[in-house]
């Protein structure tokens, strides 16, 4: 429980870190995040035996189809990171938090579409209410909340594909970062050649940017620890902590405007999550009674 709570709190408060390095362009932040994460995870694999070390990494690298799948998941996570960081820099953290609120419902819908999982009545109702919330936003503002849709879609697809990839969390994330590391390194080299590299400019970002690796790897590792030991219903509740903290940071600390249109949209999403959570509780109780 403590591991899972810590993971979701880190994710929920991460916008404070990204705002602190707001002088760094989003593409450069993502490049640093990839490279420092790869270094941190390499140390993690080398020092902690329970991760399986580099033996699991070599086993994955010998499987071309699995490697291709992880290449796709790596691109999904990188693009997700980029849009999330850009949203914070653009003062649109509220919309980003909406994406992570609806992500569980997107995952349920993707499971039904691609895995043939049948939606229980309450799950179907939750998805419908969430769609109504997004529809309300489109109707009132005339444009879809594309940041929220992109974040929920990419993270939902990431979960769907990783479900099909038999790879342990730490080694899988290390391979994903390793696959996009050449792109990240090439981007930083190009910035350096253009004298546009923020890192090394003698400011506080010189020691803040390397922390991005820890900020990426630690919560994912803690989440893996918690998810393996907690009931699904508990994990389902805890995952709302991160976007809830994002929401509070956006409104209370960043002072982003929250108008009536946004509030109604969020209210519909929260109603959908309440229905979804009720279904999780009922399902867990039935499983307990059956067991």
Distance (Å, rounded) from C-alpha 30 to C-alpha 22?
Answer: 12
Determine the straight-line distance between the first and last CA of the chain, rounded to whole angstroms.
22
Q: Is 1 helix (H, G, I), strand (E, B) or coil?
A: coil
Distance (Å, rounded) from C-alpha 104 to C-alpha 152?
Answer: 8
By CB atoms closer than 10 A (0-12, 13-18, 19+), residue 64 is exposed
Kindly report the average pLDDT of the chain as a whole number.
86
Distance (Å, rounded) from C-alpha 119 to C-alpha 130?
Answer: 15
CB 29 within 8 A of CB 212: yes
Two tokens at 53?
A: 């070390």
Mean local confidence (pLDDT), 132-152: 85
More confident residue, 67 or 160: 67
Mean local confidence (pLDDT), 12-27: 92
Two tokens at 290?
A: 């059956």
**CB count in 10 Å sphere of residue 226:** 20
Q: Is 107 helix (H, G, I), strand (E, B) or coil?
A: helix
Question: Residue 88: its pLDDT value, please?
Answer: 94
Q: Which of the four pLDDT bands, split at 50, 70 and 90, describes residue 50?
A: low
Closest residue by Cα to residue 242 from 82, 73, 104: 104
pLDDT tens per residue across span 241-275: 888 999 999 999 999 998 888 888 889 989 988 88
- pTM score of the predicted model: 0.87
pLDDT of 36 over the 90 cut? yes
More confident residue, 186 or 285: 186
Question: Residue 56: its pLDDT value, please?
Answer: 84
């Amino acid at each position: 429980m403590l591991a899972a709570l810590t993971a979701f709190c880190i994710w929920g408060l991460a916008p404070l870190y990204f705002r602190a390095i707001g002088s760094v362009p989003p593409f450069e932040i993502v490049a640093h995040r990839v490279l420092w994460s790869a270094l941190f995870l390499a140390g993690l694999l080398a020092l902690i035996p329970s991760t399986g070390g580099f033996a699991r990494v070599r086993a994955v690298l010998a499987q071309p189809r699995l490697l291709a799948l992880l290449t796709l998941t790596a691109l999904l996570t990188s693009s997700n990171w980029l849009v999330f960081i850009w949203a914070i820099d653009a003062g649109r953290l509220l919309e980003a938090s909406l994406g992570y609120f609806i992500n569980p419902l997107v995952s349920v819908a993707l499971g039904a579409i691609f895995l043939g999982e049948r939606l229980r009545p309450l799950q179907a109702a939750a998805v419908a209410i969430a769609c109504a919330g997004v529809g309300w936003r489109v109707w009132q503002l005339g444009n879809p909340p594309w940041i929220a849709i992109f974040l929920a879609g990419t993270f939902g697809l990431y979960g769907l594909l990783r479900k099909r990839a038999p790879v342990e969390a730490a080694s899988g994330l290390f391979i994903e970062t390793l696959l996009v590391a050449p792109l990240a390194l090439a981007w930083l080299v190009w910035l350096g050649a253009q004298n546009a590299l923020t890192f090394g400019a003698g400011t506080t970002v010189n020691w803040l940017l390397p922390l991005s690796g820890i900020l990426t790897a630690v919560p994912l590792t803690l989440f893996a620890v918690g998810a393996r030991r907690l009931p699904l219903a508990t994990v389902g509740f805890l995952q709302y902590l991160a976007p809830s903290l994002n929401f509070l940071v956006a409104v209370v600390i960043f002072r982003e405007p929250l108008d009536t249109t946004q509030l109604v949209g969020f209210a519909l999403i929260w109603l959908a999550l309440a229905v979804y959570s009720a279904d999780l509780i009922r399902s867990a109780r039935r499983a307990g009674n059956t067991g």
